[in-house]
Amino acid sequence: MLKAFFARLKQGYKTGTFPTKTGPNLPPDFRGRPQLDDDMTGDDIAKMKKVCPVPRALSYDFEGAKLDMGYCTFCGRCAEVCEKMHFTKEYRLGVFKREDLVVKSTDHDYEPPVQTDPQALALKHTFQLREVSAGGCAGCELDANVLGTLAWDMGRFGIRFVASPRHADAIYLTGPISKNMQLALDKTYAAAPEPKFLIAAGACAITGGLYKHGHLPATPALYIPGCPPHPATTLEALLRFTGHAAGK
């Protein structure tokens, strides 16, 4: 007992400050919100589509070049073949509407959306999540699990994963919804009490990503793109969803 006590004393305080004005300490190779140059052409999009594992993530029309983060796996191959494509360090990727996941070459001065839903704002001090892995690879699940560790400690904000959907305010969905998980997902969502929300975390949950997508039991109230989403991205999105102020 004493040995464990002194070891903890030596380790000190491990929980990182979040949010901060300067942003979290991200890895050097972190790929955040994509940025498309204004002069990107249809030929540039075609070139990137050839190396993209999910070509439907990229498009070009009368509005210019577009990248849909709902499909994007953030592999970085597009940026390797096109100098007009960049991945920034912007980690605040969570949005409340599906269309806001589409990044356009005409986008400038990005700021994440602000929550206005009073039912979501009412969860500011306690937000209970029931996680459903609907056929995922475990990447999104593991990075979400990290949020319960000492380093992130999302419980300090009143956010917790719970064992039963009957105790949940929202279903936290990961994975592309395989055929064998469709019924389990539907039953889990139905068991959660009203008012309830659906959170789609990761490209697989949002669109199926590399795979065929199953049926969503409801329209998600929060989309968190990534493959998988970084813990900082997820925590910031959950805080903003419930009205917590988030630093840049």
What pLDDT, in 10s, does the model give residues 59-98? 999 999 999 999 999 999 999 999 999 999 999 999 999 9
Do the Cβ atoms of 191 and 166 come closer than 8 Å? Answer: yes
- From first CA to last CA, the distance across the chain in angstroms is 41
- What is the bridge-based pairing of β-strands 170-174 and 197-201? parallel
> Among 6-15, 83-92, 104-113, where is mean pLDDT lowest?
6-15
Reported pTM: 0.93
- In whole angstroms, how far apart are CA 154 and each of 5, 65, 150? 24, 37, 9
Greatest Cα-to-Cα distance within the chain, rounded to the nearest angstrom = 69
Domains of the chain: 34-91 (3.30.70.20), 118-241 (3.40.50.12280)
Mean pLDDT over all residues of the chain? 93
Contacts of residue 66, defined as CB under 8 A and 6 or more positions apart, other chains included, come to 36, 58, 59, 60, 102, 103, 104, 105
Phi, psi torsion values for 104, nearest 5 degrees: -115, 155
Residue 113 CA neighbour count, 13 Å, CB half: 19
Q: Give the span between the Cα atoms of 157 and 163, in whole angstroms.
A: 19
pLDDT digits (tens, 9 = 90+) for 35-67: 999 999 999 999 999 999 999 999 999 999 999
58-61: strand order across its sheet? 58-61, 64-68, 102-104
Tokens at 90, concatenated: 């912007």
Mean pLDDT of 99-107: 95
Please check whether residue 76 is in contact with residue 30, taking contact to mean a CB–CB distance below 8 angstroms.
no
pLDDT digits (tens, 9 = 90+) for 187-207: 999 999 999 999 999 999 999
State how far the Cα of 218 lies from the Cα of 171, in Å rounded to an integer.
Answer: 10
